[in-house]
Amino acid sequence: MTFSAAQIALVVNGKLDGNTSVTVSSFGKIEEAKEGQLTFFANPKYEEFLYTTKASVVIINEAHELKQPVAATLIRVPDAYSAFATLLAKYQEIMQQQLTGIQQPSYIAKTATVGENVFIGAFAYLGERVTIGDNSKIYPNAFIGDNVTVGKNCVVHPGVKIYHSCKIGDNVIIHAGTVIGSDGFGFAPQADGSFKKVPQIGNVVVESNVEIGANATIDRATIGSTLIKSGAKLDNLIQIAHNVEVGHSTVIAAQAGVSGSTKIGDGVMIGGQAGIVGHIQLGDGAKVNAQSGVSKSIEPGKAVTGYPAYDYTSALRSQAAARKLPDLEKRVKELEDLVKQLLAEKV
């Protein structure tokens, strides 16, 4: 597909600077792009490539002042990174619209309901009373268990497993290998030292506009629901335990783990490899630095770091002080020597 600079400018509501009729048919990184490609410039670290790029069209922040002429046609927008993301999303939407129909072999139970313009890939399994909304894509080798609901405009990538009775909202993307609705880690200690399994009879509810990365696991609730609220974004390799609640527009980076029954508020940011104990609350807007171990509740808007995690600003002061310890040790030794010398002189 080929688009002119003028057409692209209309999509991102940008202002053109250069040849309005130049066309592009693909995307490229600013340092590698070729003629006929579109790229963007947002990070100042890449400014040198703005003047050497071979790209035909560059999306750029409207406030950026050029230091020298640029050969490419420029589309100026308030936020180049956001505008480029909009274009990529539109391109992806167009490409996915070409995928419709049911490939064979695949299994769709007679009681399942499949909406319009849906794609079901080869070797996919749709159990009893499954509902798939309009325009959704279920890629090959996906498993959709009994009584699962998948909303409209969803993308379920290859190898995803959604256990029985879970509910997925509209505009949800679930990447390859993710498991939703496996049993929560519930075992009751017995007098003889063994553990008795506690049946996990709840489900997982993923609201609309959520994205879940590859090979993540979201456990079903013991009773009730494990809940991922609308707009949340989960990275790859994340563990969400039973009865956890993840708030609206919260983001969690790769390899983080959240223990059972923890409540995470709206707009929370959790860094990679962070660990969060169970039965605590993270207030709205809280921030957890990467590799932090959170052992108690966090107030709204508070940032924490370290293990155990504590106030981010205090942690930075402690780290600064720790770097001075060798010098402080030297100064203490000098003071000790001076005191000994003064005491010897008095004698």
Contacts of 161-167 with CB under 8 Å at 24 or more apart are 163/204, 163/220, 164/127, 164/203, 165/203, 166/203, 166/204, 166/205, 166/206, 166/220, 167/203, 167/204, 167/205, 167/206
Residue whose pair of structure tokens reads 């169970």 in the numeric block: 278
Report the greatest alpha carbon distance in the chain: 102
> Is residue 166 a contact partner of residue 185, using CB atoms and an 8 Å limit?
no
> Is residue 281 a contact partner of residue 265, using CB atoms and an 8 Å limit?
yes
Kindly report whether the peptide bond that precedes residue 69 is cis, defined as omega within 30 degrees of 0: no
Tell me the pairing of strands 15-17 and 73-77: antiparallel
For 91, list phi and psi in degrees, rounded to 5: -60, -45
Question: Known catalytic residue: 242?
Answer: yes
The one catalytic residue in 157, 164, 175, 242 is 242
DSSP characters over 256-295 = -EE-TT-EE-TT-EE-TT-EE-SS-EE-TT-EE-TT-EE-
Residue whose pair of structure tokens reads 């990070």 in the numeric block: 43
Helices (H), 37-124: 47-50, 80-96
- Catalytic annotation, residues: 242
